């Protein structure tokens, strides 16, 4: 058999048909859950904590910071009580004689009362005990919160380390965008959120900022009662942390709030059927919370005082000037916040605007006060000088009673006076400063432009940018005022609030209920006066005021370049970007005079960059560059610009820019140079993102956003000038439909009429502020009439004001915001061609008429 | 909430409540159960078999398939009969079947139960006047339930998040291993009668405490 050959061969056993036994069953390999972060229950809280930990620079920093805070609190309370009760001041002031056997020196321990006396002191004083109890409760609350937080954040820490693969030491140097990108990355494998395969940036923002978006939208639609017209103080804003806390308690998380949990609005509030009943219920809830506030008022007051004392004494001691300094008010933060803007983004934006804003406010120092302050400072200074000179000669002078204290007092007096004396070298250029501020804060009411020099504008701006001292004072007053506002103002709005939440809540899969404004959908919430003409289908009630939707959208798209917006939105963004780029290019290469005659605002960016107020300098620069072939006259121009540039944060950039320009011999074209730079920058953020680190990117992004914000505002201004009456009428109408009474929108017409005393010379009859506000509430016909009158008056007064503005500005040269945004030498090589092309400066004068 | 939720609505007569809800709950559980896992040495496992069983309804023209596990049936029946008793004639109620995962926590906290899918069946009870209407209702409800079953199957067929298959040590976090013959995903059944749909005091208090603790 062995030699027998055949083609038949034994088949290799590729299968076995033996009966299935134990070992041959279908086997599965479990994947197991490799990490514990698949499917997290409360993503809102989770993302918030991830964000917080990132903002607090890692676990250790957070832990240490909180521990020290606790210790500090304990120390301050203990020390204050000790000072008040356990020190024998008679001994310190040497009013009481201490008899010592060994020496006559008084030692510190002599002044301290023995323990039993001390504790008796404390026991006798009911107020001290009250304070002690409250701060004890406060401290315990903080302690419990601290312990709870440690447990929660420990988990987040391990999430960072194990899932995101970021160690705590590198966290402070990672941007939020990086963290976010990693979260999006791990969603793909871990499915943190089970609803969708992939998370977007917007989802994460929505979850972190769910309630903040609602608050921003409510402030935007003037739903919250935070603006009041008071008899003496006039139009004022009151919005404190206490009030904010109460609003949030009522709407979002308190017992019986509108929200069922972090992510969903209660079902009954989504249906319109029983809105009246719900409004009643809300009103009674607000009433109860108001009453509770009233009852707790003394406790909260003491708490606030202690809190203010603990938090601010140290600061005041360290830099006494800080009380005179200003800060962005809570209302300002709400008003200026974009939809979907995280805290750090807002803060960096506002901090950039801080310098310019305080400069702007300092422009308005009262001349009367200045004169007084100068003289007081003179007399106090001479006294002080004599005292100091005497002390230097012989220090025994210090031993004379009250010499040391009078030296101190005089010093303080001089410091205070000095704050009322404006900087000698400061130039009054509010319009320009306001433009710089706008570049950073991105929002301002329409009527500020062109009226920057008026006191009303300053007053309104101070509502956004208040004195720190005022801020603290308001916080202290808040426990008393909050219940009043809740009971008398908020309660009346309960129906509107119910309607607001019903109309502006959308359920997004994978996110839950969010504010529909935060979707940044131009079609639903765009405002026709803000570039979304034709794209928006929003009724007046639905339109976000002040171009919030459009600006927020741009902001979000720029800060999150990887975000894929829906299609129409992409269209809007790319269109706008393209226009800005074109304008930027056009600004430097405007060779066609006819482009100016077009109705389309062609050279907007040029105007933005140069600033209407700085046309003088442009003119000057251009002329010299024409005549002197761009070399001779320019260094002076450039340096002038640099010295006047209000953006000090970008001064060094500017410096490098002008240096680069000087090197390339094109100093004269600093303006257009920065125009091209702007273009480079913006294209940078979209095209170079691979090469640039995200930090650099985010720096570019803020610049790009500023340009876009200015561009949108500029366009809006031109557009709204075109059909002013309609626009105002709309705003008014929107007011009526939403029926919000004390807001800036409504007050706008009246302030406007107050703004222009000059226009009284015009034939148009002037409705008084009172009349206009009554017309708003009464019949539509009257309202329209009033509006017509006002708008016509506005049309008259507009050019007048502008004329005034431009007339003054030729002297105050300088240039505006973008001045410093040019970056390094790349730009200078880039704009050679456009600069050479553009030789005709004839069209510059028309700019003046166009833009201003 | 990080959890899918599906809502099924049925309108039935009082005597049909039990069967209708049982039919739907069993249908869902049929698709959310596996055979028992038998773990082997190298971290692999084999899956036991699951029997199925047709159940005819007495008051509805309807037959549904359920896992043939008496134990599972007993558990569900108990919950459903409680629900039925709580539901008054011509009232509204909601019984929900919630699938969850357990997550082990460190010492101070108890284990978290994180739901990943919730099925809510909203039942409204109607009173019918005469026998003829009852007859029509009997057929109608049968048809409706058939639609719902197809609905359920469609939802389950979608390729969506399910907990990953666990290793032996973690099997209790995902599956309910207490039953002898079948192994459904961890689930619990809760019900609500319409009057008490608002948030209860206890949940509000819990949230209040949680919120004050939170940063």
Question: Do residue B2 and residue A43 have CB atoms under 8 angstroms apart?
Answer: yes
Mapped to the 3 state alphabet, what secondary structure does A754-768 carry?
HHCHHHHHCCCCCCC
Contacts of A163 (CB under 8 A, 6+ apart): A35, A37, A186, A190
Question: What is the DSSP annotation of A62-102?
Answer: HHHHHHHHHHHHHHHHHHHHHHHHSB-HHHHTT-S----SS
Alpha-carbon distance values, A172 to A50, A53, A179, A349 (Å): 13, 10, 11, 19
| Encoded tokens for A726 | 């309609």
What does the pLDDT look like over B121-131, one tens digit per residue? 999 888 888 89
Could you tell me if A26 lies within 8 Å of chain B, comparing CB atoms? yes
Q: What is the pLDDT of residue B211?
A: 60
Question: Do residue A30 and residue B103 have CB atoms under 8 angstroms apart?
Answer: no
Per DSSP (E only), the strands in A657-774 are: none
Is the pLDDT assigned to residue A630 strictly greater than 60? no
| Encoded tokens for A339 | 């939809």
Give the mean pLDDT of A90-107: 69
Residues of B in contact with A36 (CB under 8 A): 103
What is the three-class DSSP state of A434?
A: helix
Is the pLDDT assigned to residue A180 strictly greater than 80? yes
Q: What is the pLDDT of residue B200?
A: 52
A231-240, A623-632, A816-825 — most confident range: A231-240
Is the pLDDT assigned to residue A368 strictly greater than 50? yes
CB within 8 Å of chain B, chain A residues 103-142: 141
Distance CA B146, CA A394 (A): 106
Residues of A in contact with B34 (CB under 8 A): none
Taking chain B, what is the end-to-end CA distance rounded to the nearest angstrom? 20
Could you tell me if A509 lies within 8 Å of chain B, comparing CB atoms? no
Of residues A678 and A425, which shows the higher confidence score?
A425
What does the pLDDT look like over A259-313, one tens digit per residue? 888 888 888 888 888 889 899 989 999 999 999 999 999 888 887 887 777 677 6
Question: Do residue A29 and residue B167 have CB atoms under 8 angstroms apart?
Answer: no
Q: What is the pLDDT of residue B162?
A: 85
Average pLDDT over chain A, rounded to whole? 71
Could you tell me if B164 lies within 8 Å of chain A, comparing CB atoms? yes
For residue A38, give the nearest of A186, A202, A196, A200 by alpha carbon: A186
Q: What is the pLDDT of residue A212?
A: 94
Q: Report the residue of A41, A196, A252 to disrupt the B interface, i.e. the one with the largest count of B CBs within 10 Å.
A: A41
Give the mean pLDDT of A558-582: 86
DSSP code for B181: S
**pTM for the full model?**
0.72
* pLDDT class of A321 with cuts at 50, 70, 90: low
Tokens 């129409």 — which residue?
A: A568
Q: What is the pLDDT of residue A542?
A: 86
Q: What is the pLDDT of residue A707?
A: 86
Could you tell me if B194 lies within 8 Å of chain A, comparing CB atoms? no
Residues of B in contact with A40 (CB under 8 A): 2, 114
Closest chain B CA to residue A36: B103
Per DSSP (E only), the strands in A318-424 are: 326-328
Is the pLDDT assigned to residue A331 strictly greater than 90? yes
Q: Report the residue of B1, B118, B185 to disrupt the A interface, i.e. the one with the largest count of A CBs within 10 Å.
A: B1
Residues of A in contact with B4 (CB under 8 A): 194-195
Residue length of chain B:
215
For residue B21, give the nearest of B126, B117, B96, B128 by alpha carbon: B96
Of residues A658 and A133, which shows the higher confidence score?
A133
Closest CA of chain B from A393, distance in Å: 58
- Answer whether B138's CB lies under 8 Å from B61's CB: yes
CB within 8 Å of chain B, chain A residues 364-423: none
The whole-number mean pLDDT for each consecutive block of 10 residues of chain B, a chain of 215 residues, reads 86 90 94 88 83 91 92 93 84 90 73 87 88 90 93 90 84 89 92 62 62 55
DSSP code for A28: B
Is the pLDDT assigned to residue A322 strictly greater than 90? no
Question: Do residue A260 and residue B116 have CB atoms under 8 angstroms apart?
Answer: no
Residues of B in contact with A28 (CB under 8 A): 44-47, 165
Tell me which of A465-474, A527-536, A676-685, B193-202 is least confident.
Answer: A676-685
Question: What is the DSSP annotation of A371-412?
Answer: HHHHHHHHHHHHHHHHHHHHHHH-GGGGGSTTHHHHHHHHHH
Helix (H) or strand (E) holding A437: helix A430-441
Q: Which of B165, B199, B212 sits opposite A30 (nearest CB)?
A: B165
The alpha carbon of residue A622 and the mean position of all alpha carbons in its chain are separated, in whole angstroms, by 37
Give the mean pLDDT of A139-161: 90
Of residues A203 and A811, which shows the higher confidence score?
A203
Share of chain A above pLDDT 70, in %: 65
Give the mean pLDDT of A772-778: 37
* pLDDT class of A118 with cuts at 50, 70, 90: confident
Alpha-carbon distance values, A494 to A284, A501, A743 (Å): 9, 11, 17
Tokens 């990672």 — which residue?
A: A174
Share of chain A above pLDDT 90, in %: 21
Q: What is the pLDDT of residue A332?
A: 92
Give the mean pLDDT of A246-264: 86
Closest chain B CA to residue A207: B1
Contacts of B201 (CB under 8 A, 6+ apart): none
Q: Report the residue of A24, A33, A48 to disrupt the B interface, i.e. the one with the largest count of B CBs within 10 Å.
A: A33
Question: Do residue B212 and residue A145 have CB atoms under 8 angstroms apart?
Answer: yes
Residues of B in contact with A193 (CB under 8 A): 2
Could you tell me if B129 lies within 8 Å of chain A, comparing CB atoms? no
Question: Do residue A194 and residue B3 have CB atoms under 8 angstroms apart?
Answer: yes
Give the mean pLDDT of A22-26: 57
Distance CA A767, CA A753 (A): 8
Q: What is the pLDDT of residue A90?
A: 81
DSSP code for A168: T
Q: Which of B44, B163, B199 sits opposite A27 (nearest CB)?
A: B44
What is the three-class DSSP state of A235?
A: strand
Tell me which of A395-409, A538-552, A635-649, A701-715 is least confident.
Answer: A635-649
Residues of A in contact with B165 (CB under 8 A): 28, 30-32
Distance CA A746, CA A738 (A): 12
Tell me which of A426-430, A434-438, A484-488 is least confident.
Answer: A426-430
| Encoded tokens for B66 | 């359920």
Closest CA of chain A from B170, distance in Å: 8
Q: Which of A30, A45, A253 sits opposite B45 (nearest CB)?
A: A30
Could you tell me if B155 lies within 8 Å of chain A, comparing CB atoms? no
* pLDDT class of A839 with cuts at 50, 70, 90: very low
For residue A440, give the nearest of A322, A359, A528 by alpha carbon: A359
| Encoded tokens for A752 | 């406007």
- Answer whether A264's CB lies under 8 Å from A512's CB: yes
Q: Which of B43, B47, B108 sits opposite A29 (nearest CB)?
A: B43
The C-alpha angle with vertex A123 and arms to A120 and A125, in degrees rounded to 5, equals 110
A11-25, A68-82, A581-595 — most confident range: A68-82
Of residues A611 and A702, which shows the higher confidence score?
A702
Q: Report the residue of A24, A40, A149, A194 to disrupt the B interface, i.e. the one with the largest count of B CBs within 10 Å.
A: A194
Q: Report the residue of A24, A26, A30 to disrupt the B interface, i.e. the one with the largest count of B CBs within 10 Å.
A: A30
| Encoded tokens for A439 | 């570049």
Question: Do residue B160 and residue A33 have CB atoms under 8 angstroms apart?
Answer: no
- Answer whether A490's CB lies under 8 Å from A226's CB: no
The alpha carbon of residue A806 and the mean position of all alpha carbons in its chain are separated, in whole angstroms, by 30
Give the mean pLDDT of A571-600: 63
Is the pLDDT assigned to residue A605 strictly greater than 60? no
Distance CA B32, CA B188 (A): 13
What does the pLDDT look like over A229-242, one tens digit per residue? 888 888 889 999 89
Residues of A in contact with B168 (CB under 8 A): 30
Of residues A837 and A499, which shows the higher confidence score?
A499
Could you tell me if B54 lies within 8 Å of chain A, comparing CB atoms? no
Of residues B181 and A419, which shows the higher confidence score?
B181
Question: Do residue A39 and residue B165 have CB atoms under 8 angstroms apart?
Answer: no
Question: Do residue A41 and residue B1 have CB atoms under 8 angstroms apart?
Answer: yes
Burial of A122 (0-12, 13-18, 19+ CB in 10 A): middle
Q: What is the pLDDT of residue A75?
A: 86
Q: What is the pLDDT of residue A243?
A: 92
């Amino acid at each position: 058999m062995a030699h027998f050959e055949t083609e038949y061969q034994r088949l290799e056993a590729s299968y076995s048909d033996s009966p299935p036994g134990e070992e041959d069953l279908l086997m599965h390999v479990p994947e197991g859950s490799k990490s514990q972060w698949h499917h997290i229950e409360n993503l809102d809280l989770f993302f918030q904590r991830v964000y917080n930990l990132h903002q607090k620079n890692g676990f250790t920093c957070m832990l240490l910071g909180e521990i020290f805070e606790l210790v500090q609190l304990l120390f301050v309370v203990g020390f204050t009580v000790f000072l008040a009760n356990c020190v024998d001041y008679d001994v310190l002031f040497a009013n009481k004689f201490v008899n010592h056997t060994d020496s006559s020196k008084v030692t510190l321990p002599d002044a301290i009362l023995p323990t039993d006396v001390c504790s008796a002191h404390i026991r006798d004083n009911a107020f001290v005990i009250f304070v002690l109890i409250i701060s004890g409760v406060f401290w315990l609350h903080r302690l419990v919160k601290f312990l709870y937080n440690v447990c929660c954040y420990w988990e987040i820490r391990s999430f960072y380390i194990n899932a995101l693969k970021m160690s705590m030491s590198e966290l402070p140097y990672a941007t939020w965008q990086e963290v976010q990108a990693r979260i999006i990355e791990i969603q793909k494998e871990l499915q943190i959120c089970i609803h969708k395969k992939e998370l977007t940036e917007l989802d994460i923002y929505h979850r972190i900022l769910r309630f903040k978006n609602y608050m921003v939208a409510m402030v935007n639609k003037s739903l919250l009662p935070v603006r009041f017209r008071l008899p003496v103080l006039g139009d004022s804003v009151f919005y404190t942390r206490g009030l904010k806390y109460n609003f949030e308690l009522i709407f979002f998380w308190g017992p019986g709030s509108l929200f069922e949990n972090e992510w969903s609005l209660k079902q009954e509030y989504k249906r319109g059927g029983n809105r009246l009943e719900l409004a009643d219920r809300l009103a009674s809830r607000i009433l109860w919370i108001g009453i509770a506030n009233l009852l707790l008022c003394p406790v909260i007051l003491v708490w606030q005082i202690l809190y203010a004392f603990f938090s601010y004494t140290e600061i005041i001691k360290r830099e006494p000037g800080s009380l005179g300094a200003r800060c962005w008010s809570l209302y300002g933060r709400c008003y200026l916040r974009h939809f979907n803007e995280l805290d750090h983004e807002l803060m960096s934006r506002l901090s950039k605007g801080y310098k310019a804003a305080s400069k702007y406010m300092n422009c308005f120092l009262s001349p009367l006060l200045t004169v007084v302050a100068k003289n007081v400072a003179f007399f106090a200074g001479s006294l002080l000088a004599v005292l100091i000179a005497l002390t230097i000669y012989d220090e025994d002078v210090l031993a004379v009673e009250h010499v040391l204290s009078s030296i101190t007092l005089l010093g303080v007096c001089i410091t205070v006076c000095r704050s009322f004396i404006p900087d000698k070298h400061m130039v009054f250029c509010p319009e320009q400063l306001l433009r710089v501020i706008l570049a950073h804060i991105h929002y301002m009411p329409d009527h500020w432009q062109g009226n920057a020099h008026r006191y009303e504008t300053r007053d309104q701006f101070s509502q956004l940018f208040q004195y720190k001292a005022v801020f603290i004072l308001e916080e202290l007053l808040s426990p008393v005022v909050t219940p009043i506002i809740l009971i008398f103002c908020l309660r009346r709005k309960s129906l509107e609030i119910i309607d607001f939440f019903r109309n502006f809540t959308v359920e997004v899969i994978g996110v839950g209920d969010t504010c529909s404004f935060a979707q940044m959908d131009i079609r639903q919430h765009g405002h026709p006066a803000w570039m979304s003409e034709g794209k928006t289908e929003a009724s007046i009630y639905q339109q976000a005021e002040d171009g919030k939707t459009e600006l927020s959208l741009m902001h979000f798209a720029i800060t999150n370049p990887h975000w894929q917006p829906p299609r129409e939105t992409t269209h809007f963004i790319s269109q706008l970007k393209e226009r800005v780029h074109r304008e930027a290019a056009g600004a430097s290469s405007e060779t066609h005079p006819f482009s100016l005659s077009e109705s389309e605002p062609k050279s907007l960016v040029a105007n933005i960059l140069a600033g209407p107020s700085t046309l003088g300098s442009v003119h000057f620069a251009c002329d010299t560059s024409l005549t002197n072939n761009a070399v001779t006259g320019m260094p002076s121009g450039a340096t002038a610009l640099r010295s006047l540039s209000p953006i000090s944060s970008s001064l060094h950039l500017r410096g490098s820019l002008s240096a680069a320009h000087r090197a390339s011999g094109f100093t004269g074209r600093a303006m257009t140079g920065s125009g091209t730079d702007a273009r480079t920058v913006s294209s940078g953020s979209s095209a170079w993102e691979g090469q640039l680190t995200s930090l650099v990117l985010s720096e570019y992004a803020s610049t790009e956003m500023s340009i876009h914000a200015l561009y949108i505002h500029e366009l809006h201004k031109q557009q709204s000038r075109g059909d002013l009456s309609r626009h105002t009428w709309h705003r008014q109408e929107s007011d009526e439909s939403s029926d919000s009474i004390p807001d800036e929108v409504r007050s706008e017409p009246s302030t406007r009429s107050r703004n222009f005393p000059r226009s009284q010379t015009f034939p148009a009859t002037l409705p008084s502020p009172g009349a206009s506000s009554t017309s708003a509430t009464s019949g539509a016909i009257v309202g329209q009439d009033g509006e017509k009158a006002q708008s016509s008056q506005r049309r008259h007064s507009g050019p007048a004001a502008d004329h005034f503005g431009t007339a003054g500005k030729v002297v105050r040269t300088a240039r505006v915001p973008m001045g410093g945004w040019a970056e390094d030498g790349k730009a200078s090589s880039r704009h050679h061609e456009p600069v050479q092309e553009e030789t005709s400066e004839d069209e510059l004068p028309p700019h003046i008429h166009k833009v201003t | 909430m990080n959890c899918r939720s599906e809502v099924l609505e049925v309108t039935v007569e009082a005597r049909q409540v039990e069967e209708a809800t049982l039919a739907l709950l069993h249908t869902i559980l049929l698709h959310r159960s596996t055979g028992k896992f038998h773990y082997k040495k190298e971290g692999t496992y084999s899956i036991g078999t699951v029997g199925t069983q047709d159940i005819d309804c007495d008051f509805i023209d309807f037959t549904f398939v359920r896992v043939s596990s008496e134990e599972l049936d007993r558990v569900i029946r108990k919950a459903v009969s409680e629900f039925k008793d709580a539901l008054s004639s011509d009232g509204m109620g909601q019984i929900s079947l919630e699938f969850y995962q357990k997550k082990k926590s460190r010492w101070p906290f108890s284990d978290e139960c994180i739901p990943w899918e919730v099925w809510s069946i909203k039942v409204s009870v109607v009173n019918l006047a005469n026998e003829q209407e009852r007859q029509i209702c009997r057929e109608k409800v049968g048809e409706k339930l058939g639609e719902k079953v197809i609905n359920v199957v469609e939802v389950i067929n979608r390729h969506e998040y399910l907990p990953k298959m666990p290793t032996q040590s973690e099997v209790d976090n995902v599956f309910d291993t207490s039953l002898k013959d079948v192994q459904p995903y961890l689930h619990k059944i809760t019900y609500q009668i319409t009057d008490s749909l608002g948030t209860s005091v206890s949940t509000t208090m819990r949230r209040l405490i949680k919120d004050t603790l939170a940063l």
